[in-house]
Amino acid sequence: MSEWFADVANKFHIAFIEGDRWKLYLEGLGVTLQISIFAAILGVIIGTIVALMKLSTKKNGKRSVLSTIAQIYIDIIRGTPSVLQVLIMWFLIMVQSKNGILVAIMTFGINSGAYVAEIVRAGILAVDYGQTEAGRSLGLSKVQTMWYIVLPQAIKNVLPPIGNEFIVLLKETAIVGYVGLTDLTRVANQVASRTYEAFMPLIGAAVIYFVIIKILTILLEKLERRLHKGDHR
Amino acid sequence: MITVKNLHKKFGTLEVLKGIDYHVKQGEKIVVIGPSGSGKSTFLRCLNLLETPSSGEIWFDGQLITDPKTDINKVRQHMGMVFQNFNLFNNLSIMDNITLAPTKLKLMNEEEAKETALSLLKRVNLSDKADAFPSQLSGGQKQRIAIVRSLAMNPKVLLFDEPTSALDPEMVGEVLDVMKELADSGMTMVVVTHEMGFAREVGSKVVFMDEGIIMEENTPEEFFTNPKNPRLQDFLSKVL
């Protein structure tokens, strides 16, 4: 029994302590978080704009040009694997850029935007149309009605699926190893191949992802509860 | 004040309004009644262009509002509307519900808007609800707030789209009382309703609509005691 403990302690030592390897994990985590956070922000901005584009209509109620553009963007992004999108961005579009993290942020932001757009669109459509009519009947413009009345209510609706999207995004950034970025997953992989000991680094990385996402989940739940404070239904 | 000329409205192939001509004078209280599907709500919603007419003209205060060049947002500032389902803004407190439009449209500053709101709330006996949210109010309270919200814009005319139809019976009275008081104060009103008592008591004219046209229009007295149109006679025999 004590032998087994000693063995585990040794493996832990090799995977995390020896040669200050824990610093590598921290750096990897830093890369993962940087990409995730900025991509999430970019995704929400793009997603909201694209959702509004997709909902826009011509005066006669028919689909607008902006709406068609939004639909094409959504179709392309959702219709191709994100690994391919990273590779295309890295090797074909932003070839000049030396800043891998920036390329990753752009790629995942643009990718996430397509999914967020559909989430936000659903959230807007879920707000009772009477709210819009009431706003317009008071003389508020389309934009004012959207901004002061509909969007605030839509945000409440979309919080759970948006949280879900953030979680997916955070984990999906693990594919940036394909283009040579050293994120948390890649660090774990590198340590494993250098030390011929896969268990500790891989499980360690998994635990780190898990904890980060659990924290994120708790924060989102808190936010959701706060936004629903005004409702006593 | 409002003149409607040969108003038609189609939804797809369904023709809901088949040529309405009407004139609302300043200070009049027009009550529109009719069976469901008669087009009375559509007619009302055309007046502030919540529905776009298929053809015909609507004039408000000497301005042709069906002209695409008209800034409809400006026009709507002077035409309040009260809905069947209240449509209070769920994300805002009662105070903010009332002050949002006047302040965002730069008709009042924050303070003036608040003062106006408070005095209007007092008028409908809901001063204590200023900080509440719509979900905390009863239907009757919500509708009274909705009326106050329209009044805060100081409109020239108020449109009511079945304001009491979604209310519990015991709350109808409190809303009708507010509407009566408004009528007494000289407000021009167009009211679509099923409340015959209100029509008789408050209306200066009563209009009967069916199948997309105005079938009869008269003073309340004549309208209820001496209906001429057979369709109206039939309708009244069922509802009275």
Total beta-carbon pairs less than 8 A apart between chain A and chain B: 76
Decide if pLDDT at A192 tops 70. yes
**Per-residue pLDDT tens digits for A105-115:** 999 999 999 99
In this complex, do A136 and B153 lie within 8 Å of one another by their Cβ atoms?
A: no
Task: Tell me which chain A residues have a C-beta less than 8 angstroms from the C-beta of B129.
Answer: none
Lowest mean pLDDT among A177-181, A187-191, B199-203, B231-235: A177-181
Task: Tell me which chain B residues have a C-beta less than 8 angstroms from the C-beta of A137.
Answer: 48, 50, 76, 79-81, 83, 150
Q: Which of residues 145-174 of A touch B (CB under 8 A)?
A: 148-149, 152-153, 156
Helix axis angle, A21-55 to A184-195, nearest 10°: 150
What count of Cα atoms within 13 Å lies in the side-chain half-sphere of residue B53? 26
* Partner residue facing B87 (CB), from A130, A148, A152: A130
DSSP string over A95-145: TT---HHHHHHHHHHHHHHHHHHHHHHHHHHTS-HHHHHHHHHTT--HHHH
Tell me the shortest Cα–Cα distance from A103 to chain B, in angstroms.
Answer: 38
**How far from A184 is each of A211, A214, B98, B194, CA to CA, in Å?**
13, 17, 52, 68
User: B213 is written with which tokens?
Assistant: 């046209």
Residues 6+ apart with CB under 8 A from B40: B32, B33, B34, B192, B209
What count of Cα atoms within 13 Å lies in the side-chain half-sphere of residue A147? 9
Task: Tell me which chain B residues have a C-beta less than 8 angstroms from the C-beta of A146.
Answer: none
Is B101 in the A-facing interface, judged by CB distances under 8 Å? yes
Choose among A159, A174, A156, A155: nearest CA to A212: A174
Confidence at residue A231, expressed as pLDDT on a 0 to 100 scale: 64
DSSP state at residue B166: T
DSSP string over B56-71: EEEEETTEETTSTTS-
Task: Tell me which chain B residues have a C-beta less than 8 angstroms from the C-beta of A233.
Answer: 135
ipTM of this complex: 0.92
Percent of chain A predicted with pLDDT > 90: 79
**Per-residue pLDDT tens digits for B108-148:** 999 999 999 999 999 999 999 999 999 999 999 999 999 99
* Partner residue facing A137 (CB), from B76, B90, B105: B76
Determine the residue of chain A that is closest to B146 in CA distance: A134
Please name each of the domains of chain A with its CATH number: 2-232 (1.10.3720.10)
Is B122 in the A-facing interface, judged by CB distances under 8 Å? no
